[in-house]
Structure 1
């Protein structure tokens, strides 16, 4: 079955249920934003946000609105590439005649670090949820198998949407908790004022937050999505992007604020971010939280690799579309590699699942993100006549990320060495 016929048959099923036509319309308008949001709001985001709140209170809230502005600017560039049907990976290979292909493959493999951490967390969550299992290694194998099954079913766009809705419902409940907590709103407001200090943990958390919220594989996905979405109006992409990014960062702020109020300083644990839910709602909420962590890890790990599903075939000169054989072969191969990589990291290093969830986005934020940003700037200027003020905004976003990477790479290295 082709991708188009699979999507059509899924649409027919959706339209057959009460309100199905409205659901289908919403998925068509905002499905890409939901996919991007699901990629962002994986295990890394949950634990990074909770860790930032617990250990730095409200002092890192300023990173979230900054991430929103940067994300909007970068998605605007990749949306224009989508309208022109000019994938970003094709541009990099063409613009860098010597080493361009290797660069695309290298950063696509780097994106698999997200999947490594997500499968590690998914395996740990599954071991927690199934007491009879009680084996993170087996849990990782099962989680990887689940990801492969989602890809092979060819209906993962609908699965992602359904799971993302459930995940957002669970983590969105942190917003309801704010009504019952004594939140020092003046301190929250103060935390929105940008500030940096030289503390290693603080700097690592800054780049981790940017790395997990300004999610660079999404830009490669979006620039390659035109044959699937068939949108030729950039405003459709902008509407979709804005809804997904705003929802993700709003929920992220809920998690950070609740964690700042309720969690103690120290190393983050697997169930730590869910403890506020359990304390206020009851222990059953912890079970729901862990299910949400498992689902979020699976969807984020799989959806993140969709970027590589485009990038690697494109770097080889192949034209690929969402869900075709080359795409699925690449994603399934990287799922297998990612799950297999998580196993020795857990067994032979000091990394635990939560440490991976915090560090891997930081690595991508420090290296893969700046490369992607300046490639986007070059690509959009090749195919469009960009106004000077737009370029100024794009370059400003790139410089913020480049400077952030330069100032935090040493602290990130020291953090990794400390864990190892």
Structure 2
């Protein structure tokens, strides 16, 4: 297998050489970069202008470090789900993985609803409604998700670079105030409202299913010993740079165009596209909405891969290595996640309710459990040996745990009440 050193400026890698060494981090970034992330980034620009750009940088750094710990666990020890099975026993570990997997299905519910709603708006199909397109989105995700890792990685990478270019195009056409942008990378004039939105940005970037996936999928890239850690970290740098710059572009576009136009808040994730169209032209709405649809669909596959790896690993034995069980869990999970029209009908949750509440549910339930499990794993001598966390990484991991606990404590009751009582 030929390889290429990307540190050599004279060497330009081919596409095949790039995928031999890199790409996993872009799959991880694709999973968090969904309709919820687009909505939150747009809201940050509308409500606070450029002042929360520092939170995007902080979120990228936190995501990078969390994924680094997960990758090192997979390289030096084992997957996070296998660690849970070893330490908690098969029954308890399986119960925990099933509990976490409910959150992945909830995520998929909001993503299928978002794609369906976006298609209706983009193609002016209100007479049909978004519900049929939600079912079709789930079917498409099932087809893509069972193609195998290599094919999915190429699709995710292409779509993430496409999103980067699309949102940079919109941000550039917005003629942003470069001086104000520069000041936005320094935290100033913080308020409870801006800090709450900053926590939302952090929470959507540090996506807990990725902690399981990264530790599981490093083997797919051939990263199996200490010599592979630098390659893994370069991969993370590429992936999170793409994700961070794309998020910044969305914040900038909203701050430069929507905020001066008098928008104070966004009613739906589609609002930014419509508003941009009224100011920059219809092309901006098309680019923005197509990007949002791609981002939402992009998230479904890796998010639902997580339970498909987690549950068999927790059961252990031959089940852990069974591709049939993997596909059955994945297909079943996505099928359940395609039922967003029924959630809308029987729980009374709108598409925007699902987009906000189901990721929030994961922040309340999934993130604290997974952050604590990851902390335990990367500090376990039996698993990590001499590669356990140092105090600096433990400090960052502790910050992630505190963020997770704070989110659960501050928003838990509200999130559950809103889900069970028909939304906002």
Q: Taking structure 1 as reference, are residues 38 and 143 closer, same or farther at Cα in structure 2, changes over 3 Å only?
A: same
What residue is the counterpart of 1:401 in the other structure?
Answer: 404
Q: Is the CA contact (8 Å cut-off) linking 2:28 and 2:214 kept in structure 1?
A: no
- Where does the alignment leave 5 or more consecutive residues of structure 2 unmatched? 2-11
Cα displacement (A) at 1:414: 6.1
Query: CA–CA distance in 2 between the matches of 1:207 and 1:41?
Result: 16
Q: Is the CA contact (8 Å cut-off) linking 2:103 and 2:358 kept in structure 1?
A: no
1:76 aligns with 2:71: no
Q: Is the CA contact (8 Å cut-off) linking 1:125 and 1:294 kept in structure 2?
A: yes
What residue is the counterpart of 2:284 in the other structure?
Answer: 285
Which of 120, 127, 139 is residue 120 of structure 2 equivalent to? 127
Query: CA–CA distance in 2 between the matches of 1:188 and 1:255?
Result: 17
Query: CA–CA distance in 2 between the matches of 1:36 and 1:418?
Result: 31
Instruction: Provide TM-score, normalisation by structure 2.
Output: 0.84
Query: CA–CA distance in 1 between the matches of 2:198 and 2:408?
Result: 10
Describe the SS at the equivalent of 1:99.
Answer: helix
Which of 110, 113, 122 is residue 117 of structure 1 equivalent to? 110
The two structures, once aligned, show a CA RMSD in angstroms of: 3.0
1:252 aligns with 2:247: yes
What residue is the counterpart of 1:139 in the other structure?
Answer: 133
Q: Taking structure 1 as reference, are residues 344 and 379 closer, same or farther at Cα in structure 2, changes over 3 Å only?
A: same
Describe the SS at the equivalent of 2:96.
Answer: helix
Which of 407, 417, 423 is residue 419 of structure 1 equivalent to? 423
Cα displacement (A) at 1:319: 6.1
> Matched residue pairs, number?
398
Q: Taking structure 1 as reference, are residues 148 and 175 closer, same or farther at Cα in structure 2, changes over 3 Å only?
A: same
Q: Between 257-266 and 119-128, report the one with greater CA deviation.
A: 257-266
- Deviations, residues 147-189 of structure 1 (Å, cap 9, x unaligned): 11112333322222222222222123244235x1346617953
What residue is the counterpart of 2:264 in the other structure?
Answer: 265
- Where does the alignment leave 5 or more consecutive residues of structure 1 unmatched? 1-7, 9-19
Query: CA–CA distance in 2 between the matches of 1:227 and 1:186?
Result: 40
Query: CA–CA distance in 1 between the matches of 2:165 and 2:318?
Result: 37
1:238 aligns with 2:233: yes
Instruction: Provide TM-score, normalisation by structure 1.
Output: 0.84
Cα displacement (A) at 1:274: 2.0
Cα displacement (A) at 1:207: 4.3
Cα displacement (A) at 1:229: 1.4
Q: Taking structure 1 as reference, are residues 363 and 389 closer, same or farther at Cα in structure 2, changes over 3 Å only?
A: same
Which of 140, 147, 153 is residue 153 of structure 1 equivalent to? 147
Q: Taking structure 1 as reference, are residues 53 and 321 closer, same or farther at Cα in structure 2, changes over 3 Å only?
A: farther
Which of 369, 388, 391 is residue 388 of structure 1 equivalent to? 391
Q: Taking structure 1 as reference, are residues 373 and 148 closer, same or farther at Cα in structure 2, changes over 3 Å only?
A: same
Query: CA–CA distance in 2 between the matches of 1:361 and 1:29?
Result: 31
Cα displacement (A) at 1:412: 4.1
Q: Taking structure 1 as reference, are residues 235 and 322 closer, same or farther at Cα in structure 2, changes over 3 Å only?
A: farther
Q: Is the CA contact (8 Å cut-off) linking 2:161 and 2:242 kept in structure 1?
A: no
Q: Taking structure 1 as reference, are residues 52 and 389 closer, same or farther at Cα in structure 2, changes over 3 Å only?
A: closer
Cα displacement (A) at 1:240: 0.9
What residue is the counterpart of 2:376 in the other structure?
Answer: 378
Query: CA–CA distance in 2 between the matches of 1:319 and 1:171?
Result: 45
User: What are the within-5 Å matches in structure 2 for residues 79-228 of structure 1?
Assistant: 79-97=71-89, 99-132=92-125, 134-154=128-148, 155-178=151-174, 180-182=175-177, 185=180, 188-189=183-184, 192-193=187-188, 195=190, 197=192, 205-228=197-220
Q: Taking structure 1 as reference, are residues 109 and 414 closer, same or farther at Cα in structure 2, changes over 3 Å only?
A: closer
